[in-house]
């Protein structure tokens, strides 16, 4: 429990964090990796390069300061981050190292403005927050290890099948190398892969949504090949998986994790909206929901550049044909002549409010995932249509961002 004086000092730093937060976190990572390069085996280098990790940490530090009088209110955010930490294998001994360099970065950026009193207050606050993370993550490790087929570290899996789903998405079916059982998962969760790419000094960690229904003797992940684009190089791990990993090869994975999970027992209709590879967690969700509740009212909308990059067409077609209360629509930004003849093609361009209102019930539970620009557009549409936040569920691929 933090005393009143400490909380007051933390609250007084809120304007500074609002202005200098990302500068502090950028400096933090520079200092951390310079002193502990072995931690580069854990952190996603792409998120570092694009600044997403620095922004996410700055937002987390700012939120902690804003809610310092009631740290319990940030517990949902702690749990969300802890899911990622458990998947990555973060351990209690990492927290003192992070705390040490976070305080150094605050001092380095703020200079004399970071008085001994401020540094001590943040040291106390960090200790309380780190303790919360460690406690939550310990429970998650125990849960992952104790459930049937579970494990707590990284486990070897054989690529039993490699299936091309579209021009840019390939599925990998992962079977445990030891032949033993594997733990189940909730639709929407992900696997963390630990990959050693030839020529790279450090291992690469990536988290990929599970795209099949749970309860099978394998896991399936479906990976988009990230090609080079303006201001961004080609995806290191996605291209390695697509080009080099073959059936029979072995990959290391931690147990399924994540807090983006389908609520199976809702009485509301359910609407799924996916953009690009954001369909991967939603494929697990929609298939599971209809298997367990075949009469449920379901609407699925997938947005893509064109039909060539639209994965799982046949699966969605089959669901719409089999279940009478299920509707499926394809929205293509730049459809070909062939795309326009596709029987589920519904709209050229983008999802918009008037069209969504015409095909989906607004009293539904809405699940969506995709590129950040797509997610921001969907969130803006839903709020404009008066959909309550309690009905809105989404997942960021990578560090948590903001859709507001």
Q: Is 190 annotated as a binding residue?
A: yes
377, two tokens: 């557009």
Q: What is the dihedral of CA 118, 119, 124, 126, to 10 degrees?
A: 110
Q: Is 214 annotated as a binding residue?
A: no
Q: Is 160 annotated as a binding residue?
A: no
Q: Is 208 annotated as a binding residue?
A: yes
Q: Is 49 annotated as a binding residue?
A: no
From the centroid of its chain, how far is CA 3? 35
Total count of residues recorded for the chain:
404
Q: Is 206 annotated as a binding residue?
A: yes
Of 127, 115, 98, nearest in space to 32 by CA: 98
Q: Is 62 annotated as a binding residue?
A: no
Q: Is 209 annotated as a binding residue?
A: yes
Long-range pairs for 194-203 at CB < 8 Å and ≥24 separation?
A: 194/154, 194/252, 194/253, 194/254, 195/237, 195/240, 195/241, 195/251, 195/252, 197/236, 197/237, 197/240, 198/244, 200/236, 201/40, 202/37, 202/40, 202/41, 202/45, 203/41
Would the CA dihedral through 340, 167, 284, 233 be positive or negative?
Answer: negative
Catalytic residues: 95, 137
Q: Is 323 annotated as a binding residue?
A: no
The annotated binding site is made up of 85, 190, 206-209, 396-399
Residues making up the binding site for heme b: 85
- Residues marked as binding for FAD? 190, 206-209, 396-399
């Amino acid at each position: 429990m933090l005393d009143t004086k400490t909380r007051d000092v933390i609250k007084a730093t809120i304007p500074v964090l609002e202005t200098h937060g990302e500068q502090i976190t950028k400096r933090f990572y520079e200092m951390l990796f310079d002193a502990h390069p072995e931690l580069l085996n854990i952190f996603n280098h792409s998120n570092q390069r694009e600044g997403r990790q620095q922004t996410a940490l700055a937002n987390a530090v700012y939120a902690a300061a804003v809610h310092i009088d009631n740290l319990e209110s940030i517990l949902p955010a702690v749990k969300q981050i802890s899911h990622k930490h458990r998947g990555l294998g973060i351990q209690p001994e990492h927290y003192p190292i992070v705390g040490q360099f976070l305080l150094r970065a605050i001092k380095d950026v703020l200079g004399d403005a970071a008085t001994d009193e401020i540094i001590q207050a943040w040291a106390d606050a960090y200790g309380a927050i780190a303790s919360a993370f460690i406690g939550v993550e310990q429970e998650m490790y125990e849960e992952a290890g104790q459930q049937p087929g579970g494990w707590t570290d990284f486990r070897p899996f054989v690529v039993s099948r490699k299936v091309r789903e579209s021009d840019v998405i390939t599925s990998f079916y992962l079977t445990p190398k030891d032949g033993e059982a594997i733990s189940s998962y909730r639709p929407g969760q992900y696997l963390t892969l630990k990959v050693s790419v030839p020529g790279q000094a450090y291992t690469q960690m990536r988290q990929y949504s599970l795209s099949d229904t749970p309860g099978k003797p394998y896991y399936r992940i479906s990976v988009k090949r990230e090609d080079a684009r303006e201001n961004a190089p080609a995806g290191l791990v996605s291209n390695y998986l697509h080009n080099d990993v073959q059936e029979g090869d072995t990959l290391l994975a931690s147990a399924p994790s994540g807090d983006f999970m389908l609520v199976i027992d809702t009485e509301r209709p359910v609407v799924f909206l996916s953009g690009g590879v954001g369909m991967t967690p939603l494929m697990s969700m929609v298939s599971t929901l209809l298997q367990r509740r075949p009469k449920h009212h379901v609407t699925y909308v997938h947005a893509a550049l064109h039909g060539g990059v639209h994965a799982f067409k046949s699966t969605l077609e089959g669901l719409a044909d089999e279940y009478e209360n299920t509707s499926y629509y394809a929205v293509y930004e730049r459809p070909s002549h062939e795309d326009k003849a596709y029987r589920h093609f519904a709209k050229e361009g983008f999802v918009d409010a008037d069209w969504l209102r015409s095909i989906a019930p607004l009293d539904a539970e809405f699940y969506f995932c995709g590129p950040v620009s797509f997610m921001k557009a969907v969130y803006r549409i839903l709020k404009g249509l008066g959909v309550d936040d309690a009905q809105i569920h989404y997942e960021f691929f990578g560090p948590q961002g903001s859709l507001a």
